[in-house]
Amino acid sequence: MYTNGEASVNVPLMDVHKRTGTSETAEGDKSQETIHDVVWNPTAKHQFLTLQGLAKNATLAMWDGQKCKLQSCIIKGPYNRLHFSPSYRYVCVAGFGNLAGHVAILDRKQQYGCVGFFQDHSNPGHLQWTSDELHIVCSTLYPRLRVNNQARIFTFNGTCIYTYTCPTNRLQQVCFLQREIPQETNTTLPLVATTSTYDATAKVIVTSAADGTTKSKYIPPHLRTSNETNSTSVDGTSTTNENANATGLREKHDKKVKPRKFRETSYKAPFVGAKNVE
């Protein structure tokens, strides 16, 4: 558990309370007046991230949770919020409240490099990731602000695809329907919209990208057929006559593997004990 406080000499403090009853104190820089947000790193056992410093130039820092020591400083900017994506691969740092609404997306696998950035001018105060990690919901809620209560959905590159404005300016909560949490390897930003089609002649799944290029799966050489005889079925679709090749492959793989014969050796164990004992 971490608590933020301020000492009598105007120095930010962080107290790390452990289950053993002991605690550690991390004392920040005197020039960094405020600790805005503290978030555990879900991918590391003893590590947490902080946003501290002036509101318009805060520092995203990484700390060792056991020794309460500063490890590295990642990024600086007008940020005061930290949010991990559902798969914990991406970190969203945002500047809400009295800031300009800057939102930056950092990739943990690329040493926290910036992979997306946009700005929401509607003065939001709440942020939430969607379950597919491709969209972010920014909303202005009541009673923090009693005007322009709305919710907006952005893509990672800053395109606003949906806006809802509350007519009574009493929007208190916005929740996105969370589905199955994706794995880390399933989502990579930026994504290219793809459509999958099945090629009956090649018997592979062909993926067509948005730019018109096609990519097919690799076919091993022993499965590639040559001199195929094409025939036309009743419905007019093109098929291939591969019964002979399929039968040959089936017979090849159905052969029983003979057990390996090991060479017999005339190894004798050394004598252990005493000889000629009367």
Percentage of residues of the chain with pLDDT beyond 90 = 2
Each domain of the chain, given as residue ranges in start order, spans 2-186, 194-253
Could you report the per-residue pLDDT of 14-71, keeping only the tens digit for each?
778 888 878 777 766 555 568 888 888 888 878 889 888 887 888 898 888 877 888 8
CA gap 274, 239 in Å, rounded: 81
Do residues 41 and 29 touch, judged by C-beta distance below 8 A?
Answer: no
Return d(Cα 265, Cα 259) in angstroms, integer.
18
The C-alpha atoms of residue 41 and residue 106 are separated, in whole angstroms, by 13
pLDDT at 164 over 80: yes
With a cut of 50, say whether residue 269 has pLDDT above it. Answer: no
Residue 201 has pLDDT above 50, yes or no: no
Residues 218/224/230/233 CA torsion (nearest 10 deg): -60
Asked if residues 107 and 92 have their Cβ atoms less than 8 Å apart, the reply is no
* Rounded Cα distance, 241 and 243, in Å: 6
Q: How much is the average pLDDT of 138-162?
A: 84
pLDDT at residue 80 in the model: 86
- Give the pLDDT of residue 189: 52
pLDDT the model gives residue 11: 58
- Residue 48 dihedral angles phi and psi, to the nearest 5°: -145, 160
Class of domain 2-186: mainly beta
